[in-house]
Structure 1
């Protein structure tokens, strides 16, 4: 039975897509069956994994009920993926009926025996798409930059997760806060880390021991649709994502 993990933060540019991509590649490299689901209308994860978003079925078609979920899966060299495109941005207006929070959960349920891990890249917002991702998932990873702006809104994110836990998915839990583009040698990053630790204590939310360092190679690999493991295996950030994968597996997942 697949473990479903959503990577979420309502702030953009914190590394959600990069983290989803990196975890999918690392888990697949270790022999696990991995499915990535792009739930962001921007479709950046789809592009980075070499998926076709123009002439093939997407998660939008699945959520509309126009085809069975398995027919939207694309098998790329990096991992299996259900892609997304800009059409998904209309869901707030289109999906207004009862039980709309469960659309993704119902769509992915038939695939749970086919994969070991289902990784969801969520949009930078706390709308119905993100609520669907929370309703579907077993665990949440929250990437955040080591800056003061990333601390803003974290409370709102946790409150949204708590509401979903109360009304839609009592089994969801926080896997951890992940510091990205983090430099532990700068005073400011150390101060931000201290604030994150206080938030962690207040909300009883773990912080990953692993942090991700800044890297141009990560962006290059994604823009070229290459595996980060092949493109820059000795890059600090690539090593960090390997360590993050170890840490996640070490938690019993």
Structure 2
């Protein structure tokens, strides 16, 4: 049984796709078997994966698997321990498949058929609260995280995503847990962050992850080049330059905190399957 997570925000452009990919990549390097499910009709996770790993042209996509009622053939391996169910613009057709009585739990039953092959499953969703894509991801998830930029307008999207998740939890998926808020693109502007600190008590409220992701040009470039997909000198360690290493160190800190927040009970099954 996998631990299934949705990471999102009702506001676009906060970096949820890249951070989801970096977390999945980092967990895979630690020995966990991780599946990325691209349920965003923009297919950004699939495009980023293709930049680094070159996706198979023969592999069916998410919508193909849902129409055929079998996601197994859609799973393609990107690297050791890292897998993907790709998505594209045809994902908008999901709405055609949803039964009128319950439009939230459709994806879950097909994820449950394959989840035992993985330790973690990440859903990449579009930045729209209450959409069928977000709702189905939340319906299939055990946990959700809100990702936000260190800016007030992005913080305003926290409650929208949270409320959408609570609506799914109350009506359809009572086991859905809120893990917290991750702050991305933490600026060095002390005055600007001080405003957020005063308004939201970021440093003292347990709702916020203590690990914050700094604003770095390299992280932004992963969308154009693929995760860690940059030419390296022959002297670089394991194929990572100093900018990649800085990102990896931060992501590893975030993963440590993520595992702590998930808790021993949920990790017990996962840990019994692998050597960490």
Per the normalisation by structure 2, the TM-score is 0.81
Are 1:186 and 2:190 matched, yes or no? yes
Gap change, CA 1:234 and 1:187, over 3 Å in 2 = same
Structure 2: gaps spanning 5 or more residues: 230-237, 268-276
1: CA distance, partners of 2:88 / 2:43: 5
Match of 1:245 in 2: 255
SS at match of 2:117: coil
Match of 1:120 in 2: 123
2: CA distance, partners of 1:196 / 1:238: 28
Match of 1:30 in 2: 30
Deviations 1:81-111 (A, max 9, x none): 0011011124346635333211110110012
Shift of 1:137: 0.7
Alignment of 1:157-236 (within 5 A): 157-197=161-201, 206-227=207-228, 230-232=239-241, 234-235=243-244, 236=246
2: CA distance, partners of 1:54 / 1:67: 20
Contact kept? 2:185, 2:216, Cα under 8 Å: yes
Gap change, CA 1:62 and 1:196, over 3 Å in 2 = farther
Match of 2:235 in 1: none
User: How many residues are aligned here?
Assistant: 248
Gap change, CA 1:166 and 1:237, over 3 Å in 2 = same
Match of 2:143 in 1: 139
Shift of 1:150: 0.6
Match of 1:71 in 2: 73
Higher radius of gyration, 1 or 2: 2
Gap change, CA 1:164 and 1:224, over 3 Å in 2 = same
Contact kept? 1:14, 1:143, Cα under 8 Å: yes
Match of 2:234 in 1: none
Gap change, CA 1:147 and 1:227, over 3 Å in 2 = same
Shift of 1:220: 2.6
- Larger deviation: 94-103 or 151-160? 94-103
Shift of 1:125: 0.6
63, 71, 78: which is aligned to 1:60? 63
Are 1:102 and 2:119 matched, yes or no? no
Q: CA-atom RMSD, angstroms?
A: 2.3
1: CA distance, partners of 2:239 / 2:109: 35
1: CA distance, partners of 2:58 / 2:201: 45
Per the normalisation by structure 1, the TM-score is 0.88
Shift of 1:146: 0.9
Shift of 1:196: 3.5
SS at match of 1:113: helix
Are 1:149 and 2:159 matched, yes or no? no
Match of 2:42 in 1: 42
